[in-house]
Structure 1
């Protein structure tokens, strides 16, 4: 039988059992029956179940915001059984729940309406993902900042994509935003809002452009998430260590205050496992060049233990701070496309200096559809795909013909499915003195079902079949992401396949997987180029 421990250091111990959380007079923590009750000293009181470490009550301004369903708010899918400790360190309360090698920390700063958190997870939990989910009362917090209709309607795919009566589609996955853009997201209702502060992402996986579920709305619960690891179109392995600090921020409906967003009070005195102070960290700085002027230059650092990123300013200067010591692969991205890379060593209390210049691909450009940037931006329905299933009534997919020089980029599809809209055709003209060997480049940020492009030229020359790509195995396109492992396909077209006047390239899909609607083998287009070498 598991043992449940509660140690209270400088916390008042109530000598009676109770179910509902009493309103405490001031900053502090108490035990009432099987709960640890924490008062922030502001307008927030919350309770932690001493059996499993779940948050089971969140009262803000005496308004209970925890869902009415039996499930608590917790890490992963709940710890099941945990040893719970609580202590006060100056103006900070730390409640910890330990199960196996995982420790979930709830941290409260005196006078703030916030539950800060950190998760020490040296190994991936058995459930196969690491997330914190706050389960909130949907009747009090009905509105989502990023995806108002998640999980509403009739299920059409995997019990997580839904069709609404007006033909639109919804899913919890459509609430996702890129890690580098998602510092805070929240849910709200009349006179109240709860925000998830995403915090430190160094031990998360997937890099700056990875995105995951932010909210999910059900009949009784509005779920607010911080995903630290999942296999949702994941490109990296789990990183163990101390995840966070992140947190739940409570307001009257307004945006979180600067004080709520500030976690500088967290230091070594709180006793968080694997905590590394600023004095033990380094930085990387320097200049990058060669990225197209209308594209952001993003710098990423990664190794098996940590990841970091920054965006260069208009002159190419950048700085990545708060980096754990170690050797990193450093990558320069043109928006989301890798264009240069190198290795770099980072030391504590030191700034490593590095320059990177985008590597230009050889050849003279004959024509191009889309800018190579690691995304399908500008292609047909690219703007809707992050927020809707491809079957959404606002999209219509069919085999497309693009004419170089007259067609707009949006007439070429962002995605090509073998069983839906194949082939994609490109018509172009060559003068007699332009008939020569060319190279066709197809930039693909994500594919599903082992799909890869295979071309034919003028119905008389077929390109070779590329090898199967290295891409995530889980659903991506229908879940609102077009980000996987950027892959460049290059096909050398001989002059004998071309002719003066009209020419045609058809792009098909090669795959050994069967067709299955929008789960059929498919590729996402980033850019297509024809170049003379």
Structure 2
């Protein structure tokens, strides 16, 4: 009788029961145990991660919201499979229209590996959101994205102002996170548990190495961490379709995540045989390397980037100018050399699978500073220290100096007092006073105004004394908010104005007056009026 009862007891147990490692089906979810301290659930209906338990504590969710792609998918096909080789792995595949999303666990690792393949515009998936319970992770009111109690929305619903005049927004990166090339992960630690979202290599993302995008949101009610697949604020590239990832949710016992998980370090060969749609193994990729960059300027970091309609990559040049970029999908790319964040050289190269494309020394041919200027302004108000305040404050923030800082006199006024941003409705009509020698006034000159971003088709026009420039065309920029959501980086553009000699004063003791005016037929009022981010103003 005992043996018969034992037989029936065993027969009634689910087939997928493991001591630790493995998965079970509770009817609504796949329950995955990594065989260490992490257990999580994936909805069989839509692929949401609706429970994340680490060390016995639930971290997932608030207000009925789960962690998921975008704001959640509708009814999807959700399947699960386990592998014994190349390691003990579990893979969940979520298919929703032309989108395929993967959730992968690996034995003994307190990580959730995530990959997303978006096939076209029919599915709104531009980010993965990790939603964490309130009052588990610490909240620091100094963080740029922390919403203080009593704050008031001043722009849409996502930029708020508190009683001190400080502004906060989920769009602001703050001092810890800046350009995408500057960080490998986002997250926090309680002092005993660390929760980290490690970004992918962004080869299918938009905007290149200097792009700033949403990384986290923090309030007294909740915490969100983001992996941005395509960010539509201030974007510079069209959306790229295909596979993005792996990006990794990683739990640690307080410390920072394992650097072996960072996109620039990781060995992802164990994904090669998992049937991931769009996966390109390292054996099917190539690389480039360069001997050097000539005529590098002191005080600047040089970055080399590759881009085409399907992929983007980048790498920082060493002090001597040598550089390399690995794990590049084969194809023809535009190679761009950046001095700081300004492109000073471009060419076309081809990358082949399984081989390195080697380039001889590059000599930049479009560095504006190679032109000897009569005068040049290249330091700007509110951009005088890093991290730049406008990347983590709304332009109206009380901690910023007033944007209408008064007129500028060449050779007298500190360059750091020239406004870095100008708006049609805020600080328009800025004046620059300058003198020329008797020899200099005998011929026409060029005034250049270099911009890094323009909002609502903003562009500069000028007058010099009584002369008025033709009205320039707008540069090509993203069509969304930019200057007010923490980014000054769009498409670099130089507006050049040929000023005739007749425009200058003949009395060399007198000050010539340059007036810079932002023009546009678009935009709204205040800081949402047409505006520009200025990188340099010079005369030669």
TM-score scaled by structure 1?
A: 0.91
Counterpart of 1:111?
Answer: 108
Alpha-carbon distance in 2 for matches of 1:125, 1:243:
17
Q: Give 1:504's aligned residue.
A: 513
Aligned-residue offset at 1:219: 4.1
Question: CA shift at 1:490, angstroms?
Answer: 0.6
1:455 equivalent in alignment to 2:462:
yes
Q: What is the root-mean-square deviation of aligned Cα atoms in Å? A: 2.5
Query: In structure 1, what is the Cα distance between the partners aligned to 2:210 and 2:141?
Result: 20
The corresponding residue for 2:136 is 140
Q: What corresponds to 2:279 in structure 1?
A: 275
Give the structure 2 partner of residue 8 of structure 1: none
- Alignment partner of 1:414 is 2:420: yes
Q: Is the Cα contact below 8 Å between 2:99 and 2:123 reproduced in 1?
A: no
Mean Cα deviation higher: 257-266 or 383-392: 257-266
1:230-241 aligned at under 5 Å gives the runs 230-241=231-242
Structure-1 separation of matches of 2:108 and 2:325: 32
- Name whichever structure is richer in strand by fraction: 1
**Equivalent residue for 2:155, pick from 151, 154, 157:** 157
The residue matched to 2:527 in structure 1 has which SS?
Answer: coil
CA distance in structure 2 between the partners assigned to 1:342 and 1:116 by the alignment: 36
Query: Structure 1, residues 431-471: CA drift from partner, whole Å, max 9, x if none?
Result: 2222232111110010112111111112x111111012211
Aligned to 1:4: none
Aligned length: 511
Q: How far apart are residue 173 of structure 1 and its match?
A: 0.5
CA distance in 2, matches of 1:13, 1:106: 30
Offset of residue 189 of structure 1: 2.7
Please tell me whether the aligned partners of residues 151 and 171 of structure 1 are also in contact (alpha carbons under 8 angstroms).
Answer: yes
* Alpha-carbon shift at residue 364 of structure 1 (Å): 2.9
Distance change in 2, residues 1:381/1:205 (3 Å)? closer
Q: Deviations over 1:104-138 (max 9, x none)?
A: 111112111111111111223533x5110000012
Deviation at 1:15, TM superposition (A): 5.9
Does the CA contact (< 8 Å) of 2:97 and 2:123 recur in 1?
no
Q: CA deviation at 1:290?
A: 3.0
Distance 1:384 1:311 in 2: 24
Residue in 2 aligned with 1:5?
Answer: none
> Structure 1's 147 and 98: CA in aligned 2 closer, same or farther, altered over 3 A?
farther
CA apart distance, 1:220: 2.7
Aligned counterparts, 1:252-267, within 5 A: 252-261=253-262, 262-267=266-271
* 3-state SS of 1:478 partner: coil
Aligned residue runs from structure 1 range 59-74, under 5 A: 59-74=53-68
Give the match for residue 368 of structure 1.
376
Assess if the C-alpha contact under 8 Å between 2:145 and 2:171 holds in 1: no
How big is the shift at 1:320? 0.6
Residue 495 of structure 1 pairs with residue 501 of structure 2: yes
- Maintained 8 Å contact 1:443/1:488: yes
> C-alpha distance in 2, partners of 1:144/1:111?
32
1:513 to 507, 518, 522: 522
* Residues 14-36 of structure 1, C-alpha deviations (whole Å, 9 max, x = no match): 9679xxxx997321111112110
1:120: which partner in 2?
A: 117
| Residue 378 of structure 1, CA deviation | 4.3
Preserved contact between residue 303 and residue 338 of structure 2 (Cα < 8 Å) = yes
Whole-angstrom distance in 2 between the partners of 1:423 and 1:381: 27
Describe the SS at the equivalent of 1:269.
coil
Q: 1:130 is matched with which residue?
A: 126
Whether 2:47 is the aligned partner of 1:43: answer no
Residue 415 of structure 1 contacts residue 522 of structure 1 at CA under 8 Å; is this kept in 2? yes
Shift of 1:199: 2.0
In the alignment, the residues of structure 2 paired with residue 329 and residue 454 of structure 1 have an alpha-carbon distance, to the nearest angstrom, of 31
Whether 1:472 and 2:466 are equivalent positions in the alignment is no
Instruction: Identify unmatched segments of 5+ residues in structure 2.
Output: 1-9
Deviation at 1:240, TM superposition (A): 1.1
Offset from partner CA, 1:310-353 (integer Å, 9 cap, x none): 11100110001100011111111111111110111110011112
Distance in 1 (alpha carbons) for counterparts of 2:141 and 2:289: 34
TM superposition shift of 1:270: 1.5
Question: Are residues 140 and 13 of structure 1, via their aligned partners in 2, closer, same or farther at CA, if it must alter by over 3 Å?
Answer: farther
Q: Pairwise mapping of residues 351-430 of structure 1 onto structure 2 (< 5 A)?
A: 351-354=356-359, 355-359=361-365, 360-361=367-368, 363-370=371-378, 378=383, 383-395=388-400, 396-398=402-404, 400-430=406-436
- SS at structure 2 position matched to 1:199: coil
Which residue of the partner structure matches residue 70 of structure 2?
A: 76
SS of the aligned residue for 2:348 comes to strand
* Correspondence for 1:438: 445
Partner of 2:193: 192
* In structure 2, distance between residues paired with 1:514 and 1:99: 37
Matched with 1:332 is: 337
With the length of structure 2 as denominator, give the TM-score of the two structures: 0.89
On the 8 A contact 1:511/1:521 being kept in 2, the answer is yes
Which structure 1 segments of 5+ residues have no match?
1-11
Q: CA deviation at 1:472?
A: 1.0
Distance 1:118 1:339 in 2: 35
Q: CA 1:55/1:387 → structure 2, altered by over 3 Å: closer, same or farther? A: same
1:365, distance to aligned residue in structure 2 (A):
1.2
Q: Distance in 1 between matches of 2:144 and 2:484?
A: 18
